[in-house]
């Protein structure tokens, strides 16, 4: 068991939190990642410039529902040949597939989510993601992929598997897995193995373990606050005075939780 997993289990034993259940996962998939980010502002008590990706992604299929699951991390490189022997490269790749498919002990209902840092970023040159790897990861039960690397085979990849990539390219070059299970950075997001992820075409956010117990109420609260403003703006008689009224209603929306 990793130190991260041990730390989480201590939290689970001594702090009152709700598990990431199938029901909560289904609920979270109904909302885009910006909504999750807004709800986390309530959890923190203020806005934040951390805990989310900072640069745009190319989405394999923007129509897919959001990715929700547990981070499994790795680092790749494509600009140089591997320094290890072909046998060792193969061994690392197969061990990576075994690692990436493992479910969380703390949150067994949540699927693994693949997060890969391409060490050639911000100028990646070789794609790890195409028809074959998408098929393998989906077959192993991975919920989706977030990477600072490249994507290819757009016409052939499984349309029901989401890949959020830095860009698109035709070649895999010398791409190989360097390590897995370590802390990584993907588009400005520092993330470690075992953290809870919510992601869609907008990017990804980390949901802290301690926020699980309030995230549903936080989403509902923010949705109600925004509804006052949106509904008012859609009316024919909307003006600055109506905006002030709606703003006041939103500010006075009561927390239910």
Instruction: Tell me the pLDDT band of 257, cut-offs 50, 70 and 90.
Output: low
CB 142 within 8 A of CB 113: yes
Instruction: Tell me the pLDDT band of 14, cut-offs 50, 70 and 90.
Output: very low
> Does residue 31 sit in the same domain as residue 67?
yes
> Does residue 101 sit in the same domain as residue 223?
no
Rounded to an integer, the average pLDDT of 217-223 is 93
pLDDT of 2 above 80: no
User: 249: buried, middle or exposed (CB in 10 Å: 19+, 13-18, 0-12)?
Assistant: middle
Range of the domain at 109: 3-213
Rounded to an integer, the average pLDDT of 147-164 is 97
> Does residue 63 sit in the same domain as residue 153?
yes
> Does residue 94 sit in the same domain as residue 131?
yes
pLDDT of 23 above 70: yes
Rounded to an integer, the average pLDDT of 88-114 is 96
Rounded to an integer, the average pLDDT of 180-206 is 97
Size (the chain), residues? 257
Quick one: tokens of 254?
């009561």
Sign of CA dihedral 38, 69, 130, 156: negative
> Does residue 246 sit in the same domain as residue 165?
no
Mean pLDDT of the chain: 92
> Does residue 70 sit in the same domain as residue 150?
yes
> Does residue 50 sit in the same domain as residue 111?
yes
Output phi, psi for 138, to 5 deg.
-65, -40
Rounded to an integer, the average pLDDT of 139-165 is 97
Q: pLDDT value at position 45? A: 81
Read off the DSSP letter of residue 52: B
As for how many domains the chain has, the answer is 2
Query: 76 by DSSP, 3-state: which?
Result: strand
Instruction: Tell me the pLDDT band of 8, cut-offs 50, 70 and 90.
Output: very low
Distance (Å, whole) CA 37 – CA 47: 9
Distance (Å, whole) CA 132 – CA 251: 50
> Does residue 196 sit in the same domain as residue 239?
no
pLDDT of 11 above 60: no
Sign of CA dihedral 52, 54, 57, 63: positive
CATH number of residue 162's parent domain: 3.50.30.40
Query: 223 by DSSP, 3-state: which?
Result: helix
Region of poorest pLDDT, from 11-25, 85-99, 229-243:
11-25
> Does residue 208 sit in the same domain as residue 244?
no
**Stretch (H or E) spanning 124:** none
> Does residue 169 sit in the same domain as residue 233?
no
Q: What CA–CA distances, in Å, run from 15 to 33, 77, 211, 212?
A: 26, 40, 11, 12
Q: pLDDT value at position 254? A: 87
> Does residue 198 sit in the same domain as residue 89?
yes
> Does residue 206 sit in the same domain as residue 242?
no
Quick one: tokens of 53?
């990706």
């Amino acid at each position: 068991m990793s130190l991260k997993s041990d730390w989480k289990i201590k939290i689970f034993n001594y702090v009152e939190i709700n598990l990431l259940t199938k029901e909560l996962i289904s609920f979270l998939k109904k909302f885009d990642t910006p909504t999750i980010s807004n709800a986390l502002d309530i959890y923190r008590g203020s806005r934040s410039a951390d805990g989310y990706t900072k640069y745009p992604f190319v989405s394999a299929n923007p129509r897919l529902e959001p990715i929700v699951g547990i981070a499994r991390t790795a680092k790749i490189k494509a600009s140089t040949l591997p320094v290890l022997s072909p046998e060792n490269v193969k061994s690392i790749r197969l061990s990576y597939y075994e690692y990436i498919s493992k479910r969380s002990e703390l949150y067994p209902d949540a699927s693994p989510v693949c997060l890969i840092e391409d060490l050639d970023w911000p100028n990646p040159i070789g794609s790890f993601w195409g028809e074959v790897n998408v098929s393998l990861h989906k077959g192993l039960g991975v919920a989706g992929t977030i990477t600072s690397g490249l994507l290819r085979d757009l016409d052939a990849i499984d349309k029901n598997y989401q890949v959020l990539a830095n860009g698109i390219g035709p070649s895999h070059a010398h791409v190989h897995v360097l390590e897995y299970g370590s802390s990584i950075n993907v588009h400005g997001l520092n993330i470690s193995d075992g953290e809870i992820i919510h992601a869609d075409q907008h990017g990804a956010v980390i949901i802290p373990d301690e926020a699980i117990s309030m995230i549903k109420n936080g989403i509902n609260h923010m949705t109600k606050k925004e509804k006052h403003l949106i509904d008012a703006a859609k009316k024919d008689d909307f003006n600055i005075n109506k905006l002030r009224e709606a703003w006041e209603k939103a500010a006075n929306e009561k927390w239910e939780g």
